[in-house]
Amino acid sequence: MVRDGRPRPLGRWARMPRGRVVALVVGVVLGAVFTHGYEARLDELERRDAVELTARVVEGTPGGGRETLTAAVVLTNLGAHPVTIRAAQLDDDRFRSRLVGEAVAIAPGADVRLTLAVSGGCAGGGPQTVPGTLVATVETPHRGARTHPVRLADDAGLLLAAARRTCADADFDRWVSTQAAGAPTIVRRGLLQPVRFRLHGASPQEIGAVRSETPGLVVVAAPLPVRFAADGLTAVTTLRWAPSDCLEAQRARADEVRLRATVTLATGVPEEVTTLLDAESLRAVTDFRDRACV
């Protein structure tokens, strides 16, 4: 039909061959179906890879002396899939921080206690506020590692108080951490734990002695000394833990499970420094204590 000298849209459709009309309609329908399916697939992938974590600072965040400030943080997985924490640090340029130990897996609905080694933040008399965000490197079963911000709750001000105590005597530039180097083994009245050591904040040569700083637990290491390699880690040595006083051991908090290591620096001068256990080694020691001291 023609109105005012112009064909109406219906007239255009009417003059189009039926086959072309059908093909056009089918194309539009298939396009809509494909778009809906694609969007549904994206939604499914987003739900599958979603990471829902919360973090809170807990008791056991000491500071002061020559020790690095260690922040005890409990991370909870609120999502539907397991999450592996590859690394973590405070989202604040005033502080230098890192996860003590290697990757930690968290099952859905579960939580895990992490230890962060924290330094810095003492300029101007110490921090007045602390970070409210933890930046974690996470990995899910269907997706590779990526960074993920996690709100860090510290309602009791534990991290701020610890940072201020540490800044009162801020000579905490050297410290050692462990890295699990094999599966721990429980033997008669003892725990055998292969580890490697890493020194932070100085150029080291070797570790010549190790002692327990944990109430109620003693430790010996063999072989010693162990020298540091080019990657910053020592050769593997085995820690043998044993209870000396079960009452004291049972009272010890997780942040009190630590070592002292005598490190010979590149200058040839030996120095005893605080040694923090990685998360895997810490769990092994506390599990052993709970079994041995029943």
pLDDT of the chain along its 294 residues, tens only?
545 555 555 555 556 666 665 666 666 666 665 555 655 655 555 556 678 899 998 876 554 444 467 788 999 999 888 999 999 999 887 787 888 877 889 999 999 988 888 877 666 556 777 788 999 999 988 888 889 999 999 877 888 777 777 665 444 556 788 999 999 999 887 999 999 998 876 778 899 999 998 889 999 999 999 999 988 899 999 999 999 999 999 988 777 788 989 998 878 888 888 788 888 898 899 999 999 988
The per-residue pLDDT for 288 is 94
* Cα 189 to Cα 191: distance, rounded to the nearest angstrom: 7
Domain locations in the chain as residue ranges:
53-167, 175-292
Cβ neighbours, 10 Å, residue 293: 15
The per-residue pLDDT for 64 is 43
The per-residue pLDDT for 116 is 86
Query: Cα-flanking dihedrals φ and ψ of residue 60, to 5°?
Result: 105, 35
- Beta bridge partners, 185, equal 192
- Beta bridge partners, 259, equal 212, 275
* Cα 188 to Cα 292: distance, rounded to the nearest angstrom: 9
The per-residue pLDDT for 246 is 92
* Cα 37 to Cα 25: distance, rounded to the nearest angstrom: 18
The per-residue pLDDT for 171 is 45
Contact yes or no for 236/224 (Cβ under 8 A): no
Decide: helix, strand or coil at residue 280: helix
- pTM score of the predicted model: 0.55
Contacts with 54 (C-beta within 8 Å, 6 or more apart), sequence order: 75, 76, 78, 150, 151, 153
CATH class of 53-167: mainly beta
Closest to 218 measured CA to CA, from 259, 275, 186, 176: 259
* Cα 112 to Cα 283: distance, rounded to the nearest angstrom: 10
The per-residue pLDDT for 85 is 92
- 199-225 residues labelled b (16+ CB within 10 A) or e (exposed): bbeeebbbbbebebebbbbebebeeeb
The per-residue pLDDT for 8 is 56
The per-residue pLDDT for 231 is 86
Strands 270-276 and 175-180: parallel
